[in-house]
Amino acid sequence: MVHALEEVHRVLAADGVLIDLRPVADRWPVEIISAERCWPVGRLEDLPQQLADDAASNAALDQASLAGSFVLERQETFDFSYYWDSLQDMREYIDDEWADFCALPVRVFDQAQTIWGQIDPGGQVRVRLKMQLGVWRRTMV
């Protein structure tokens, strides 16, 4: 990522802005929701690859900042939710799309199934990701 940031600095207009928008590891919560209620059922498990990627990204941005290439103007986190109409859809998505980053513990899926069986049709399962947004201003260095 260090080389990518060097290339961004090279091609970005003077006083341009780099937007760092990414999900970060935070044992994302799994919830069953209906029109009336939300049931927390557990959290996804952060895998070593996700933790390593977060650390590498943060280190690269810190290095670029220390080198004077970029100045952090603003940073915040916010939730971004994924919704599925079935537990199986959620499980398949996590297994297919997030397999390198997080895992759905069996106990969390089992708890979700228990609650799912007790709610009215029309419920959904939700995972709330923690997103990080950083606004970095290019410097003249």
Contacts of 45 (CB under 8 A, 6+ apart): 27, 102, 103, 104, 105
Percent of the chain surpassing pLDDT 70: 100
Contacts 24+ apart (CB under 8 A), 103-107: 103/44, 103/45, 103/47, 104/30, 104/44, 104/45, 105/42, 105/44, 105/45, 107/42
Task: Determine the pLDDT at residue 74.
Answer: 97
What's the pLDDT band for 100 if we cut at 50, 70, 90? very high
As a whole number, mean pLDDT of residues 52-68 equals: 95
Is the pLDDT at 48 greater than 80? The verdict is: yes
Mean pLDDT of 13-19: 93
CB-based contacts of 40, cutoff 8 Å, min separation 6: 29, 30, 31
Query: What stretches of the chain adopt beta strand conformation (E)?
Result: 17-24, 29-33, 38-43, 45-46, 70-84, 102-103, 124-138
Of the candidates 83, 71, 75, 72, the one whose C-alpha atom is nearest the C-alpha of residue 34 is 83
- pLDDT confidence of residue 36: 87
Number of compact structural domains in the chain: 1
* Global confidence as pTM: 0.89
Mean pLDDT of the 71-94 span: 97
Q: How confident is the model at residue 71 (pLDDT cuts 50, 70, 90)?
A: very high
Mean pLDDT over all residues of the chain? 95
Q: What are 107-123's pLDDT values in tens digits? A: 999 999 999 998 878 89
* Phi, psi angle pair for 9, to nearest 5°: -60, -40
Range of the domain at 12: 2-138
